[in-house]
Structure 1
Amino acid sequence: MKHQHWIRSAALAGVIVLLTTGCSILGTGKKTDIDAPPTTDVDAKTTSASVTVDMSDEITSQMTIFVKDAKGFVTPVSIALPKTVSVAKTTLEYMVDGGPETSLLPAGFQGLLPKGTKVISLNIKDKQATVDFSKEFLTYDVKDERKLLEAITWNLTNFPTVEKVQLRVDGKDLKEMPKGKTPLDTPLARTMGINLEKAEDAEFGQSTPVTLYFLSKNDQDYKYYVPVTRLVKRTENIAQTVVDQLIKGPDLKKGLGAVFNTGTEVKSIKPTEGLITVDFSNKLLGADQKASGDALQSVILSLTENTAYKQVQIKVDGAVKITSTDNQNYSKPVLRPSHINPSKM
């Protein structure tokens, strides 16, 4: 259990914490850090307005990059990128503010890498990506320092070959960020969280991080999921906590939207090898007796983000035959989507 990585990463947000627990897998008794999403060669078995699959075009491929939305959240957006030898390097190049991604992003979104930044090189070895940026990288706005680090780290750890990220500028390792003095003496990892917040009933030193996917929408009605790492009261029952926190909903003052009906209840959460089953009461259903497709996708994204389970089975009162508002098939176990938040541009 790599407690030190989370402790140090949480400190990057400007809080001093001594977190002594990480994420555990429900029912196994084992603990793990917040891992990169499970990867698979099989596309998700269901899609919604905010998920998509690879394009078949010969010269482009659907890829996910991490950028900033109009509310200031670091958010994944899937766009069509040119197929290149170094896909990971290309995704970073499309995260440069004012770069080629500008015309591809939804309204209100922008890259977090400073204008003019060039990716000199990107090397991946032993699960660590070492990125060498040009000197323009250091011209970032200090208020975006943590967001910049989150975007780079979560973008690169989306790839199954990357677990850690080391930053360089003009060939020299960065030991700290020059403006906000964020320490970089050890490689960054997904354990740093993203869009970090603390639950009201949580105490620093007695907390566990869970990453939850809530909904947002821009001025042009583009709907998308935002990952939020919330520090909650210490727990080892991660799967139950994730669903409970999703039902509790987002901090509405931040402009994110709830996905569950008021009064939604969980009857049981049962894990088996590679699969976790969540059984909701019929309060999950709306007046039309349909389950919100947004809520179901939020559950799938959040559970596969925080646990080792690669598939999620959704039930309502023990039944797997569910009619959803997005008209997708949830009667069978569902994999994590290949890509999140496809751009409408």
Structure 2
Amino acid sequence: MKHQYWVRTAAIAGVVAMLTTGCSVMGGGKKADIDPPPTAGADADAQTTSAAVTIDMAADNSAQMTVYVKDPKGFVAPVSLGLPKSVSVIKTTLENMVDGGPETSILPAGFKALLPKNTKVLGANVTSDKRAVIDFSKEFLNYDQQDERKILEAITWSLTSFPTVEKVQLRVEGKDLKEMPKGKTPLDTPLARTMGINIEKATDAEFGQSTPVTLYFLNQNDQNYKYYVPVTRLVKRTDDVAKAVVDQLVKGPDLKKGLTGVLNTATEVKSVKQGADGLVTVDFGSSKLLDTDQKVPGDALQSVILSLTENAGIKQVQIKVDGAVKITSTDNQNYTKPVGKPVHVNEVKM
């Protein structure tokens, strides 16, 4: 049933047509699990989003927020910025995803906000069923058709980064948006992360017989800013999503797209075990994993954790090497205990 739902969602967003034609991470902040969602009242944006902002408040009157923007290679990627504190962090987040928005000048070189210039956020409410209802001004419709899906991905993945939001409904000037006007993407149901991001298909997978897994690979701009890019890959249908994620990370990215893999393609995966409590334990062999200093690359470990916790039902990851939980990593983080999903990804240092 889940496979059918995802395929329907992907088809609605124009994925098939597109494909046939064509802890704080990476920053200096502390690692932490996402906070549990607070109790929210109906349509209470101020209440709901102000609770979410307690994830990470800085002392300089700013809050760490994640926006999804277009990177120099055209991928939709998360960037974590220190943005001004506000009552409605959802509204502030979206305003900083508008081309020419108040803080878009602090994006890394080559990154571009996807929402059209002069777009205004007229309303941003979160309902009791974790649905963010976003009302844009008419300028939202002044976008390039080639960016239509990227815009939807950016909005959906940015807002569902908040623990109080699971789906997104779009309006323009107070009226529900039934479809995107240029590419005709239907919006008859709220958007969710099940739509995927930067979608691609494995060569041995078929559209009607596939399972989507989201993987995090590395990229870098021309100013040596290194960051993770999420890619939803359709793979041969499987019920063991955790193993599929790790196997695909070992397989690596599509080299034609310019991303960098995080694991040696000869890395040995001894076991991937998922418990009923949402904990996945991954045991790697050391021979192709350790660097010359006998350390595990921190980028690889963070990518494994990001990728696994992005997929449904996985809350924490325990990394082992040759059966041992005591690991020396290049990022000097402690991986002896299970690690949860990072709050912020690709933090930009000011």
Fold in common (TM above 0.5) = yes
Task: Map Cα deviations across residues 59-88 of structure 1 (whole Å, 9 max, x no partner).
Answer: 111111111101000001000011111111
Structure 2 counterpart of 1:59, one-letter code? N
CA distance in 1, matches of 2:87, 2:119: 20
Partner of 1:256: 259
Please state whether the residue corresponding to 1:15 is helix, strand or coil.
helix
Query: Which residue among 140, 148, 151 is the counterpart of 1:137?
Result: 140
- For residue 336 of structure 1, report the CA deviation from its aligned partner: 1.5
Moved more, 207-216 or 310-319: 310-319
1:340 match: 345
Greater share of helix residues, 1 or 2? 2
Matched, 1:322 2:327: yes
Q: Of 102, 105, 123, which residue of structure 2 is paired with 1:103?
A: 105
Which amino acid letter does the alignment assign opposite residue 7 of structure 1?
V
Aligned AA (1:327): N
Deviation digits for residues 273-330 of structure 1 (CA, Å, limit 9, x no counterpart): 2422110001211222111110100000011111323221111101111111112221
CA distance in 1, matches of 2:178, 2:79: 29
1:8-39 residue CA offsets vs partner (Å, 9 max, x unmatched): 3211234179xxxxxxxxxxxxxxxxxxxxxx
For 1:336 and 1:313, locate their aligned partners in 2 and report how far apart those are by CA, in whole Å.
12
Matched, 1:152 2:152: no
Q: Secondary structure at the match of 2:292?
A: coil
**Regions of 4+ moved over 6 Å:** none
Unpaired runs of 5+ residues, structure 2, are 31-55
Deviates more, 1:269-278 or 1:109-118: 269-278
Residues 295-310 of structure 1: matches in 2 within 5 Å? 295-310=300-315
Farther-moved stretch of structure 1 (197-206 vs 283-292): 283-292
Bigger shift: 128-137 or 307-316? Answer: 307-316
Alpha-carbon separation, structure 2, partners of 1:326 and 1:268: 24
TM-score (norm 1): 0.88
1:277 lines up with 2:281 in the alignment: yes
Range with bigger deviation, 279-288 or 71-80: 279-288
Distance of aligned partners of 1:335 and 1:231 in 2 relative to their CA distance in 1, 3 Å threshold: same
Alpha-carbon separation, structure 2, partners of 1:121 and 1:48? 31
Aligned residue for 1:191? 194
2:207 counterpart SS class:
coil
Aligned to 2:26: 49
CA distance, structure 2, for counterparts of residue 4 and residue 166 of structure 1: 22
What's the counterpart of residue 15 of structure 1? 16
Post-superposition Cα deviations, 1:77-115, rounded to whole Å, max 9, x if no partner, equal: 000011111111110111001112222210011110000
Contact in 2 for aligned 1:48/1:328 (Cα 8 Å): no
Please give the secondary structure, in 1, of the residue aligned with 2:183. Answer: coil
Q: Does 1:114 align with 2:91?
A: no
Match of 1:159, SS? coil
Percent identity over the alignment?
Answer: 73
Letter in 2 for 1:132: D
| Secondary structure, aligned partner of 2:211 | strand
Match of 1:124 in 2: 126
CA distance in 2, matches of 1:180, 1:16: 11
Superposed displacement of residue 341, structure 1 = 0.2
Distance 2:271 2:72 in 1: 37
**Structure 1 counterpart SS, 2:126:** strand
How many residue pairs end up in the alignment? 317
Going from structure 1 to structure 2, the CA distance change for 1:16 and 1:236 (only over 3 Å counts) comes to: farther
Question: Structure 1: how far apart are the matches of 2:9 and 2:99?
Answer: 25
SS of alignment partner, residue 340 of structure 1: coil
Distance 1:225 1:265, change over 3 A: same
Would you say the 8 A contact 1:194–1:228 is kept in 2? yes
SS in 1 for 2:230: strand
Partner of 2:211: 208
Whose relative contact order is higher, 1 or 2, with alpha carbons under 8 Å and at least 6 apart?
Answer: 1
CA distance in 2, matches of 1:129, 1:49: 28
TM-fit CA distance, 1:266: 0.7
